[in-house]
Chains A and B, each alone.
Chain A
């Protein structure tokens, strides 16, 4: 845009600054994603930014129980592998927690009572003893290993199966989709009426919509909850229904929806609408056949916002849908996990990523409408 500043040090500065900001803005999400696909042991012992480097870890494993021993000559030997299939490289080992790196890998360590322990680089170990091994549990082996980065979908599987997240996912969709479409429909009709139809009280209604734009929705919760209970009792159904939450989201989303859409629709060329009127179209025809197709960018951009808001909402869902397992939405589930499993990062990161995956898809899929619709909408 500013031609004179091209090819000056300023341009370089701009590139560098934007890159810096983009990195800062992306890192948190990137960290979450990387963490969610890391092995849970690695996740809790090293930062996600080390995910790609091999990590040196102090680990403990238990040898096989004595009943797996075999007799080799005059000695009884228990053999096995510390990694049990996965990759890794042992550098040091030991048999007591006090000195976990007592021996170098490969050496035959002399332990008490003539027992020996040998651990190879690939994790193969051999415990040997002159007398038969007793007891039901194997001895512990302490070792230092370099494990290569390990990525897994295990966390997701665990979360989706065990934590009821799959169910909440469907609940969230059930709430979100109608709660996106209904307000758009209602708002589009209202916006058309406020923009192009003539009736008494129009200016007052427009002012009312703008005024309601700023009512904090928390304020509505108590009165609404009481009314919901009454209505629920009256019809003999619970007060927490899907219809209830759709309408709540619709009501709370309406002022902004009407405001944005009206701004857009009022900007459509007047002559096109008059021409349709001369052609004999009723307002309903005009709305369906002319205004709706022409306002598509605005509808799409509002749809994106409303989808994101509803999907990401916690408050309205908690109040109008409740916290029982059957109706829990994703955000509610996530908050629950945050409270109950605050330390289990593998659960938290995977669940968090599941909750944001749909909005991210919606956002990246539809973002080109976002700017187009907004351009005519809120910027005037």
Chain B
């Protein structure tokens, strides 16, 4: 009870503190430069001053937080990658040399590439298929909810769920893992799935696909609804069948959204490490970059330099997507 109460107080203080900033700063601004009364000329001047200051009151916290939590770390990681374990002695390119001569790096790089190709593609594909089909049936919304549900489950929770599915029992015991039970049912030999090299990566990817398909589906189905009915009706009149309508009329119209979904999942894949950590702890050749970096940074006292180098590799992999996104945003702003 005591813990609950103190948690409650902490939460209220935290949220109130944030709200108080916005109210307080704007209140102060209105007090210092009053605009509701006074001589017209003063009011006009005050208002102008206030209007020049206010955007920064609104943006202040966001700019500070973005700078501190994202922008500065990017810069600092670049610096750290040239320094040693503790981040104090300059070592030049040593960390880079180490990285490119480390077998583990090649393993995780290869695995990451597999993840990058398989997961976004599969999740987007399933999301699109499901979105299209659920839009046409009366229980579509129920189906969507159920398929979206894994989104609500943490990677660790999902790992428990899937560990349970991949579970293996030796000898003649009954298999309680669903996958092995199925294999046995069809007369096969039960396997320790998570230790089969290369393939175990795919068994891990399945988990992320299972989670992310719901996300792709929700966004794509919103986009599909935005397609003007007339274009589809016109295609029907032109004699197109269901599949032709799907890939010749509908898909091209939501191409932009598909790209956004694909990007979002790609970025997520680069950041994912929980699944690997919880399922295999990177054993049996399932290492990925994010997890490798994590273990270099935090295990055995940590090696900041090597961790930073791996972080930079992840960053470099993301750059094309970043550039593409900024281009898109700029084009959008010019359009308005």
A140 interface hit (Cβ, 8 Å)? no
Assess the B69–A220 pair: CB atoms within 8 A: yes
The stretch among A91-99, A105-113, A122-130, A244-252 that forms the contact with chain B is A244-252
Assess the B22–A212 pair: CB atoms within 8 A: no
B15 interface hit (Cβ, 8 Å)? yes
Query: For A268, what are the chain B residues with a Cβ–Cβ distance below 8 Å?
Result: none
The stretch among A70-78, A79-87, A146-154, A182-190 that forms the contact with chain B is A182-190
Query: For B70, what are the chain A residues with a Cβ–Cβ distance below 8 Å?
Result: 212, 215, 217, 220, 251-252, 255
B135 interface hit (Cβ, 8 Å)? yes
A221 interface hit (Cβ, 8 Å)? yes
Query: For A360, what are the chain B residues with a Cβ–Cβ distance below 8 Å?
Result: 149, 152-153
Mark A186-197 against chain B: 1 for CB-CB distance below 8 A, else 0. Answer: 110110111001
Assess the B130–A21 pair: CB atoms within 8 A: yes
Q: Identify which of A170, A334, A342 contacts B4 (C-beta below 8 A).
A: A170
Q: Identify which of A10, A185, A220, A335 contacts B73 (C-beta below 8 A).
A: A220
Assess the B176–A45 pair: CB atoms within 8 A: yes
Mark A324-367 against chain B: 1 for CB-CB distance below 8 A, else 0. Answer: 00000011001100100010010011011001100110111001
A210 interface hit (Cβ, 8 Å)? yes
A308 interface hit (Cβ, 8 Å)? yes
Q: When chains A and B are docked, how far (Å) is the Cα of A287 from the Cα of B26?
A: 12
B115 interface hit (Cβ, 8 Å)? no
Assess the A356–B130 pair: CB atoms within 8 A: no
Query: For A199, what are the chain B residues with a Cβ–Cβ distance below 8 Å?
Result: 52, 55-56
B251 interface hit (Cβ, 8 Å)? no
Number of A residues near B (Cβ < 8 Å) is 122
How big is chain B's contact interface, by range? 35 or more
Instruction: Using CB atoms, name the residue of chain B closest to A28.
Output: B161
Q: Identify which of A44, A197, A206, A362 contacts B55 (C-beta below 8 A).
A: A197
B150 to chain A minimum Cβ distance, whole angstroms, is: 7
Q: A203-B333, A212-B71, A213-B325 are in contact. Are A5 and B242 (CB under 8 A)?
A: yes
Instruction: Using CB atoms, name the residue of chain B closest to A334.
Output: B156
Query: For A378, what are the chain B residues with a Cβ–Cβ distance below 8 Å?
Result: 219, 257, 260
Assess the B164–A345 pair: CB atoms within 8 A: yes
Assess the B159–A170 pair: CB atoms within 8 A: no
A237 interface hit (Cβ, 8 Å)? no
Interface of A is mostly: helix
Mark A19-46 against chain B: 1 for CB-CB distance below 8 A, else 0. Answer: 1011001111101100100000001111
Assess the A47–B176 pair: CB atoms within 8 A: yes
Q: Considering the complex, which residues of chain B in the window 266-313 have a beta carbon less than 8 Å from any beta carbon of chain A?
A: 267, 270-271, 273-274, 277-278, 290, 293-294, 297-298, 304, 307-308, 311-312
Assess the A223–B54 pair: CB atoms within 8 A: no
A222 interface hit (Cβ, 8 Å)? yes
The stretch among B60-68, B89-97, B103-111, B197-205 that forms the contact with chain A is B60-68
B84 interface hit (Cβ, 8 Å)? no
B37 to chain A minimum Cβ distance, whole angstroms, is: 12
Q: Identify which of A178, A186, A215 contacts B65 (C-beta below 8 A).
A: A186
B294 to chain A minimum Cβ distance, whole angstroms, is: 7
Q: A215-B70, A314-B154 are in contact. Are A18 and B311 (CB under 8 A)?
A: no
B292 to chain A minimum Cβ distance, whole angstroms, is: 10
Q: Identify which of B136, B140, B245, B325 contacts A211 (C-beta below 8 A).
A: B325
Instruction: Using CB atoms, name the residue of chain A closest to B239.
Output: A4
Assess the A215–B59 pair: CB atoms within 8 A: no
Assess the A247–B76 pair: CB atoms within 8 A: no
Assess the A223–B149 pair: CB atoms within 8 A: no
Assess the B152–A218 pair: CB atoms within 8 A: no
B84 to chain A minimum Cβ distance, whole angstroms, is: 13
Q: When chains A and B are docked, how far (Å) is the Cα of A193 from the Cα of B54?
A: 9
Assess the B35–A282 pair: CB atoms within 8 A: yes
B134 interface hit (Cβ, 8 Å)? yes
B226 interface hit (Cβ, 8 Å)? yes
Instruction: Using CB atoms, name the residue of chain A closest to B310.
Output: A218
Assess the A282–B30 pair: CB atoms within 8 A: yes
Q: A170-B4, A206-B329 are in contact. Are A379 and B219 (CB under 8 A)?
A: yes
B195 interface hit (Cβ, 8 Å)? no
- Supply 8 further A-B pairs (C-beta < 8 A) apart from A194-B59, A379-B223: A3-B233, A29-B150, A171-B7, A197-B55, A210-B325, A223-B77, A379-B222, A379-B257
B residues adjacent to A (C-beta < 8 A): 3-4, 7, 10-11, 14-15, 18-19, 22, 26, 30, 35, 50-52, 54-56, 58-59, 61-63, 65-66, 68-74, 76-77, 80, 87, 126, 129-130, 133-137, 140, 143, 145-165, 167, 173-178, 181, 210, 213-214, 218-219, 221-223, 225-226, 229, 232-233, 236, 241-242, 245, 256-257, 260, 263, 267, 270-271, 273-274, 277-278, 290, 293-294, 297-298, 304, 307-308, 311-312, 314-315, 318, 321-322, 325-326, 328-330, 332-333, 336
A residues adjacent to B (C-beta < 8 A): 1-5, 10-11, 14-15, 17-19, 21-22, 25-29, 31-32, 35, 43-49, 167, 170-171, 173-174, 177-178, 181-182, 185-187, 189-190, 192-194, 197-199, 203, 205-224, 226-227, 242-243, 246-248, 250-252, 254-255, 258, 266, 282-284, 287, 308, 311-315, 318-319, 330-331, 334-335, 338, 342, 345, 348-349, 351-352, 355-356, 359-360, 362-364, 367, 370-371, 374-375, 378-380
Closest 6 CB pairs of A and B: A251-B69, A312-B154, A220-B73, A190-B62, A223-B76, A352-B160
